[in-house]
Structure 1
Amino acid sequence: MKKLVTSVVMAGTLLVSSPLVSSAALGDKTLKSGMTHSDVKQLQEVLKKKGYFKNSKTTTYFGSVTKNAVVNFQKKHRLSADGIAGKNTYKALGISKGSSSAVRSTTFGNRTLKSGMTSSDVKKLQETLKKKGYFKSSKTTNYFGSITKRAVINFQKKHGLTPDGIVGKNTFRALGVSKSGSNSVVKAASTSSKSASLVATAKKYMNVPYVWGGSTPKGFDCSGFINYVFDKSANVNLPRTVADIYKKGVRVSTPQVGDLVFFETYKPGASHAGIYIGNRQFIHSSSSNGVSISSLNNSYWSPRYLGAKRI
């Protein structure tokens, strides 16, 4: 059997679990028709909040709907209506270059949420739970119904909280949502501190042997290792197989620390993965070496590399 590798995608900008838009890179790159990039999704979300992007779903592709939204925004703000999001358009949108990856919300985290409520905070809650693998519905809404309650209860059980389905102080804290005066600050999971913590946790298990189906420090297979590290370091509940993990997150052209790197080995599609740790290296559980560090430049892994994703 060929080497197996495991991977995870963080984030969240791994992005592990931020309910809001991370703007860590948005504003640094000119965006235009035909591009596919995680920044495009963030641009769509900003335009949607301002009433210009009309689609119910945002994507990473800059197509005609996005261009029309940009053109209409530019016309409204007396900019050159070329449909290209550059410096002047970003400025009018209130986005500055190198903006922070933490987005402020005036209410999320300050208000207890429970069944029967309708609020924009409920939608943010669902998005947070969805990124952590607990909210299963394909669409998020402002209504706190049975699906949301079930997701909250499952999260609470997993984290040793009272499983009452009510989102209060302790549940918000476990979700990574904290108060800041009258505001709550939701930290993006792809911040350097969380990425560093993820890698540090992964390295604790160096040389743990490879075990098919293993998901504990007694022995890991590739996806078992990634699942364990993400759960312990970031409270993120990932799918059990590499193929399903690959369906999560946002594709990135250049991996950053904490991103997941995927490979096609013994069958078509993503069959192995690892956690990117920088300098074109990744940590994974391979069938021959157990938990170890390999290079993307390696003659075995390089031709099998599928790409990277951020959870």
Structure 2
Amino acid sequence: MKVVKPTKDALIISSVAAGILFSGPALVMASEEATQKDFTKAIEDTQVVRYGHTGYFVSNIQANLADLTLYQGAVDGVYGKLTEKSVKQFQRLHHLKVDGIVGKETLTKLTSIKKPVEEFQYGDIREEVKSFQTKLHALNYYYGQIDGVFGPLTLQAVKEYQQKNNLEETGKLNSPTQIHLLSNRNKKGITLTTKKVKTAHNTELQSSVTSIAKSLLGTKYEWGGNTPSGFDCSGFIKYVFAETNILLPRTVNEIWNYTVHTQKVGIGDLVFFETYKPGPSHVGIYLGNGQFIHTSSSKGVTITSLSNPYWKERYLGAKKVPKA
């Protein structure tokens, strides 16, 4: 056995397995001669393979991880940082102890999987989707039923999660998204708070916010939209304030957590409503004279009165935006 960097814990392996699998670089080059049977048998002989080890055994681990799209490095038989990171991703994905060490449990699971991580997309109805809906719900991205149906609400939640966490925005529960979700340790998502902040209220800013918002009147509603080609309610708010160089979170719940309570609503304040779920789920910008501008699913960007029976019944209150 060859170790790149000495470690306190030596690799414990039977003399037979060591002779087969860890004869140094020569076996890495001649890995094709070794059999899967040797690799499988080594499960019973091996106690731990970790960072710093080299040999055919490491090459086989790398190859298996590459088959599962979890490893993009060279299959060189060197257990480096990239291999360790990939092992941790595999362990998270399969609910194993996340230590980056290939022990018997991790190796058994790794060799039992014959296909890449399954990808889920819009329209799928699968039991496995429930676990991801549950995780997205815990992180304040998903508010629908935990039913395994990859419908519009799940699609929006996945896209928002990918966007916020710098993942490729595919709208699919692909391997990178699944791994990121399962490794996310937040229990209630990221809650932005403010303490003793100045609020972004002055005549010039109020005018800018309301003017920009009104210039977008008639823009169509689009689920997950955040550009003038189409908005959902929070995408509209985020866009308008971004145009005044004020960055807001993406979802209604996050905007609610970020902004500051006010007893008296003023022009440019945000007004929140409880619609399809408990808590804040819709938001608009107050224009004065009892009116607010928002994105309606039926009308797109529109102006509505707070005295409208539907909105009056669901009104939660007004909040001010912290000054950047």
The interval holding the TM-score normalised by the smaller chain is 0.3 to 0.5
Bigger Rg, structure 1 or 2: 2
TM-score when normalising by structure 1: 0.40
More helix as a share of residues: 2
Higher relative contact order structure (alpha carbons within 8 Å, sequence separation ≥ 6):
1
